[in-house]
Structure 1
Amino acid sequence: MRFNKVLYAFMLAASVASFTGCAATPKQDSTGQYLDDTAITAKVKAAIFADPNLKLFEIKVVTFKGVVQLSGFVGSREEELKAVDLARHVSGVKAVQNKMSVK
């Protein structure tokens, strides 16, 4: 009987620890958030690549908790604004940080 209580306590502690491992922290996504961010990144990259003027440039897209950061180089200020606009209109994007530079 005592063994069952010890085993139960151990299993409870292990399950609590495993759930805590999937939780989000201020600097790290939860598992679900990571998958959402990955999907947002893919959608933003697809939107940028679909634009014939922007697909020629190296624009890096990183998403963290719904905030998209665009970095890299573009040919003009208009193309920079177009990339930001495309990213803003992707579903799930909360904000866009523009770290791009004009060549």
Structure 2
Amino acid sequence: MRYAIRLSSIMLAGLLLIGGCTAMTGETAGQYVDDSTITASVKAKLVGEKTANLTRIDVDTTNQVVSLTGIVESPDQKARAEQLASQVSGVKSVKNNLQVQKKQ
């Protein structure tokens, strides 16, 4: 009986801790993993792009919304980066904050 009470207390404390972590970030553990997977997939697509150098782009994902920031050399590269990001499974939308800067 004491074992059951102790185990129940430990499980309740664990649930409270997990709930507190969720409240701090606004994301559940599953959402965080999904967002991390999306970010990694978008980065892989950008690095694997053969027609343009899209390696100076930072990618962040929150609640399946991908944010692209950084510098590209042309409006075409900016559009291509957004297109690649939107093709990744699980992406709801893409915020394209890329800056176009001509190569000097």
* TM alignment of 1:1-103, pairs within 5 A: 7=6, 10-11=9-10, 13-21=12-20, 23=22, 25=23, 27-103=25-101
1:1-59, Cα deviation, whole Å (9 max, x unpaired): 7x679647634531431441454x49532111111111111110111111124335400
**TM-score, scaled relative to structure 1:** 0.79
Question: Sequence identity of aligned pairs in percent?
Answer: 36
Question: For structure 2, which runs of at least 5 residues remain unmatched after alignment?
Answer: none
- Matched positions, count: 101
Does the residue aligned with 1:60 lie in a helix, a strand or coil?
A: strand
Could you tell me which amino acid in structure 2 is paired with residue 58 of structure 1?
R
**TM-score, scaled relative to structure 2:** 0.79
Q: CA RMSD of the aligned region, Å? A: 2.5
Question: For structure 1, which runs of at least 5 residues remain unmatched after alignment?
Answer: none
CA drift of 1:72 comes to 0.2
